[in-house]
Amino acid sequence: MQADFVIIGSGSAGSVLASRLSENGKHSVILIEYGGSDAGPFIQMPGALSYPMRMRLYDWGFQSEPEPHLNNRRLATPRGKVIGGSSSINGMVYVRGHAMDFDHWEDSGAKGWSYADILPYFKRMEHWSPNGHGGDPTWRGTSGPLHVTRGPRSNPLFEAFVKAGQQAGFETTDDYNGEKQEGFGPMEHTIHKGVRWSTANAYLKPALKRQNLSLIRAYAEKIEFDGKRATGVRIRRNGRSEVITARRSVVVAASAINSPKLLMLSGIGPAAHLAANGINVVADRKGVGQNLQDHLEVYIQQACTQPITLFKHWNTFGKAIAGAQWLFFKKGLGASNQFESAAFVRSAAGVPYPDIQFHFLPMAIRYDGTAAAEGHGFQAHVGPMRSASRGQISLNSADPFEAPRIKFNYMSDPQDWIDFRHCIRLTRTVFGQAAFDPFRGAEIQPGASVQSDEEIDAFIKEEAESAYHPCGTCKMGAVDDPTAVVGPDCKVIGTEGLYVADSSIFPRITNGNLNAPSIMVGEKAADHILGKTPLPKDHAKPWIHPNWQESDR
């Protein structure tokens, strides 16, 4: 029950860390994961993505506190409680983020995390092949463990969405993860040969063949300290409390929800909050649990006049056929997440890089698989990327088995309302283009009667949902920044032998889905923890619209 490195959490970053820290065979590594096996078809079949995030077997089942600006609704906050963590229950969408996101990280104090610094790590992790469908191989990695692919885009609605964006005056892009993020084009996903390519499949399972890596199924209660040095992790297993000793370092990779919770339970956090819960202070870091960010989105749904959408398969027989095709051949509808076209656009002149994301889906349905529209339809998930609203994670008590208090504080910044109204009206503009003329029926949601700012705001309050991208709660920054939790080396400031490496360290949320940058954090953090020289910088320059100061398109 001891190792050189002890990692808490086998998710998007944790599995990467387990693989990279054990890679050279010189160090012993123990990975702690409370969740169970990822072997079931609900996880491995991409088309079943709506199921695992609703199953307590695979999900921690977190909910936000009542959100005051969203009619006091409690929003679901799914996090993976399974091998592979949230990479085993997410939508499998692969988005690196924009280059300027990471330059902002460095400018805010995370030195060494500019785009030039992190691009080599994206390349190291990727296994990407153009396969004749566009993109620039010079911007992509081709031999990493993480397979990045694209769907067949055989439904004509996928092409209609991209053409409509172009007709509305926006750019198109062959590869939003390459030089040019801005525009309408194909969406990428972490699917390989028809199977969800989680970090468990890409990194952890191959690494577990090594003698120096062990996976322990247990509940992490707290980090043990000798003074300021982290010495191990107290776990609960089979009803008993035990300590796993870390000879060199403890690495927390337990998610933007559970990582700050673990730090606070262990005495690292705002001193007054810890004292109020009867916890002795190891390091007074007021930023722990603060800076919580997420992407909020709405679904704009349109009826389809042709019977070509996924609705025709949304019945017991259709699901059975898709399931059988996947089970026996790993092909068919079950082999895709159905998010096969996307867009990143700018909201206004003077915005230098995209701040709105679209996911397009050839069906009118909620992300969690509920509330399917009665009949054929299509939809766009749309929302702003860089809200100024901030929330926090706090403890309900010192009981490690009690869920933390989660308050996102969505829509608390006045600009959010302006941005969301624009997103909704912009989506209507895209759906109103000639490319959709053969398919467009009546607007299902919000509905044609919802037009004024007040009516749109009421729709947002009742219907906006999380995109499930929480981050920022253990912010990375300069060591003299009182709000930073970890320094640029991912070490927890004010401690020794303790690191955090997951989406909780993001200083600011990135453009798009967070799985890819979370994996990148695991890759880069592993080099810092091992004391290795970072990969050489890659100074490739991203495409920025030449008229960004004059126009939004």
Q: Is 289 annotated as a binding residue?
A: no
Q: Is 162 annotated as a binding residue?
A: no
Spatial separation of the C-alpha atoms in residues 185 and 188, rounded to whole Å: 10
Question: Counting Cβ atoms within 10 Å, is residue 278 exposed (0-12), middle (13-18) or buried (19+)?
Answer: exposed
Cβ-count burial 141-153 (b if 16+ within 10 Å, e if not):
beebbbbbbbbeb
- Structural domain of residue 335, as residue ranges? 152-186+296-384+412-463
For helices 99-107 and 115-125, the axis angle rounded to 10 degrees is: 130
Q: What is the pLDDT of residues 381-416, one digit of tens each?
A: 999 999 999 999 999 999 999 999 999 999 999 999
The answer to whether residues 277 and 506 touch, using CB atoms and an 8 Å cutoff, is: no
Phi and psi for 321 in degrees, rounded to 5?
A: -65, -45
Residue 516: CA atoms inside 13 Å, Cβ hemisphere, count? 29
pLDDT value for 130 = 78
* DSSP annotation of 531: T
Residue 34: CA atoms inside 13 Å, Cβ hemisphere, count? 22
Is residue 178 one of the residues assigned to a domain?
A: yes
pLDDT value for 367 = 60
pLDDT value for 539 = 96
pLDDT value for 405 = 98
Q: For residue 513, which of 107, 44, 49, 23 has the smallest C-alpha distance?
A: 49
Is residue 444 one of the residues assigned to a domain?
A: yes
Alpha-carbon torsion 360, 362, 363, 369, what sign? negative
Q: Is 375 annotated as a binding residue?
A: no
Annotated catalytic residue: which of 104, 359, 469, 528?
Answer: 469
**CATH number, domain at 338?**
3.30.410.40
The answer to whether residues 406 and 91 touch, using CB atoms and an 8 Å cutoff, is: no
Spatial separation of the C-alpha atoms in residues 186 and 326, rounded to whole Å: 23
The answer to whether residues 262 and 268 touch, using CB atoms and an 8 Å cutoff, is: no
Question: Counting Cβ atoms within 10 Å, is residue 210 exposed (0-12), middle (13-18) or buried (19+)?
Answer: middle
For helices 156-167 and 414-431, the axis angle rounded to 10 degrees is: 110
Is residue 102 one of the residues assigned to a domain?
A: no
Is residue 311 one of the residues assigned to a domain?
A: yes
Contacts of 41 (CB under 8 A, 6+ apart): 48, 323, 326, 327
Spatial separation of the C-alpha atoms in residues 76 and 464, rounded to whole Å: 12
Contacts of 345 (CB under 8 A, 6+ apart): 165, 170, 171, 182, 183, 184, 354, 356, 358, 426, 552, 553
Is residue 529 one of the residues assigned to a domain?
A: no
Place of tokens 């000793």: 245
Is residue 53 one of the residues assigned to a domain?
A: no
Q: Is there a cis peptide before residue 362, judged by omega within 30 degrees of 0?
A: no
DSSP 3-state helix, strand, coil percentages of the chain (rounded to 5)? 30, 25, 45
Q: Which residues of the chain have pLDDT under 70?
A: 132-133, 367-373
Residue 122 Cα distances to 117, 264, 329, angstroms: 10, 31, 31
Q: Which two tokens stand for residue 355?
A: 């701040």
Is residue 128 one of the residues assigned to a domain?
A: no
Helix boundaries (H) for 301-361? 316-329
Strand partners, 250: 6, 498
Whole-structure pTM over 0.85, yes or no? yes
Contacts of 450 (CB under 8 A, 6+ apart): 456, 458, 459
Spatial separation of the C-alpha atoms in residues 427 and 359, rounded to whole Å: 11
273 belongs to the catalytic site: no
The total of structural domains in the chain comes to 1
* DSSP annotation of 486: B
Is residue 334 one of the residues assigned to a domain?
A: yes
Spatial separation of the C-alpha atoms in residues 162 and 344, rounded to whole Å: 11
Q: Is 282 annotated as a binding residue?
A: no
Q: Is 14 annotated as a binding residue?
A: no
